Structure 1
């Protein structure tokens, strides 16, 4: 499959690009970015070419992969989908519900996969479906505490304007929902409350009757950071296993595998653009409740 990479930031350079370039069933056709100099440098690093125009890269590929801010991603991905290109999206697919719905509509006839990291990590990928099959859950909780903007840390992702503007709700909230929703059922109501700095607390009700909470932050002290997901119910207490497995490169390679399979078979993946849309709808409702 000929794939074009859109985006040139740290995530593109460290994960998306290397994973695509190394995949045996992918030809990394080229790179496009909003900064031509960065696109040229990344293309050279990956052994491919830089494109000056996004539409020119769309014309030359079978699929497009994104490492762009969500609302930039949504507009270009919709154009690519209308041109018949398959989509490997990053989360969230958009932070605007109308843009997410427009993208989902445009992508109705192509394969799509949204890269929720832990849904593709070797250790954690089977966990949500296993818990859904077990059933009988009473409540759950997710804590996703990052330190990108903590005073005592320096992260390469701290220069991301959209993360700074939208905060943990939109950056790590999708990760938490990607595990809680398939395990406990769709969200029927959500409210949110502010914590320290950008920290946000969610209270969710699910279609199964269970409730859950999520604590999300990009400003937690480094020693307080980490990820925990726990469910409690009739069969006891279960906790998400080792979070990162073989790391993000391996997880992204599995997301590429998933896109190839969906394109080949026509069977939608559980983490397709429609699930990405639902995550955006939930987070937008949570954000409204903060106002």
Structure 2
């Protein structure tokens, strides 16, 4: 019997770009979120909203998009809400967007209040979400972490994130951030440390916290795997003392985080956009979704309570 000729499949039409609204106009929005969204081939940057209308207008002009004066007007015009706002401002607006059916591209931490973070998780139950933990989307550190998660037998870990944005000799563009002044390194760079330690060593089962110089915080963590880890966090370290180190030690030896700053955060944010688009189109949650963001908030809130 002759084999019938195969009928070629009709080519699939490319997915339409998703419309994205950017909420926030500060340095992080202007330097990272905005440029990455404007350049991404699979999204359309529909507009910008900010708490200061003049700043929203300026950033919208730079990004060749439109400034919105009302939060709900921008939510109504987009498929995705992207945030570069202080965490507890972000959480309330993000919950409104999620309840309107908008996917969420969040920044860390998702909130600094556990109840607020839980409300956001509930609101986002039917939409896709990704939280931008910078190192989880870096071309160097992302694959490195995947290797360590796949390995067994980790005994202990160490994370040091020593920033200098509030040091007298700083050259950082972020020292005017009120929420960072209020919440310090625990809430600003603590999420970065947890975003690597928790996947590699398991969920945190106990927390001890102690204060160091200025805003410096030291955490001692026990993990579900039985491993322990320590984290040293600061935004006030002298600039020459700053840097990021993550090290894991176990049965397979010592694993050290590779250099993470070669490409810059714009490329890492573009990968976070890719991750959100995949989650939105497949319905498969990303590992860095809002539920992981909630868990980070819960751990940091325990540490904050111990510090008094």
Normalised-by-shorter TM-score class: over 0.9
Range that drifts further, 234-243 or 49-58: 234-243
Q: Which residue of 2 aligns with 1:32?
A: 49
- Give the equivalent residue in structure 1 for 2:24: 7
C-alpha deviation, 1:148, in angstroms: 0.2
**TM alignment of 1:127-276, pairs within 5 A:** 127-276=144-293
CA deviation after TM superposition for structure 1 residue 244, in Å: 2.2
Partner of 2:9: none
**1:69 aligned residue:** 86
Aligned-residue offset at 1:127 = 2.2
| Post-superposition offset of 1:154 | 3.7
In structure 2, distance between residues paired with 1:171 and 1:162 = 9
Distance 2:266 2:171 in 1: 22
Deviations along 1:62-100, whole A, 9 cap, x unmatched?
A: 000000000000000000000000000000000000000
> 1:33-72, aligned counterparts within 5 Å?
33-72=50-89
- CA distance in structure 2 between the partners assigned to 1:155 and 1:229 by the alignment: 22
SS in 2 for 1:125: helix
- The structure that has the greater radius of gyration is 2
Q: Which moved more, 1:148-157 or 1:264-273?
A: 148-157
Larger displacement relative to structure 2 (150-159 or 99-108): 150-159
For 1:84 and 1:135, how far apart are their aligned partners in 2? 39
Is 1:83 aligned with 2:86?
A: no
Deviation at 1:47?
0.2
Give the CA deviation at 1:20: 0.1
CA distance in 2, matches of 1:105, 1:245: 37
Deviates more, 1:125-134 or 1:166-175: 125-134
SS state at 2:207 partner: strand
Corresponding residue for 2:33? 16
TM-score computed with the length of structure 1 as normaliser: 0.99
Q: Aligned residue pairs: how many?
A: 291
Q: Give secondary structure in 2 for the equivalent of 1:29.
A: strand
Provide structure 2 residue ranges, at least 5 long, that are not aligned to the other structure.
Answer: 1-17
User: In the TM superposition, what whole-angstrom CA distance separates every residue of 1:110-163 from its partner, at most 9, and x where no partner exists?
Assistant: 000000000000001122232121110110000000000011214221100000
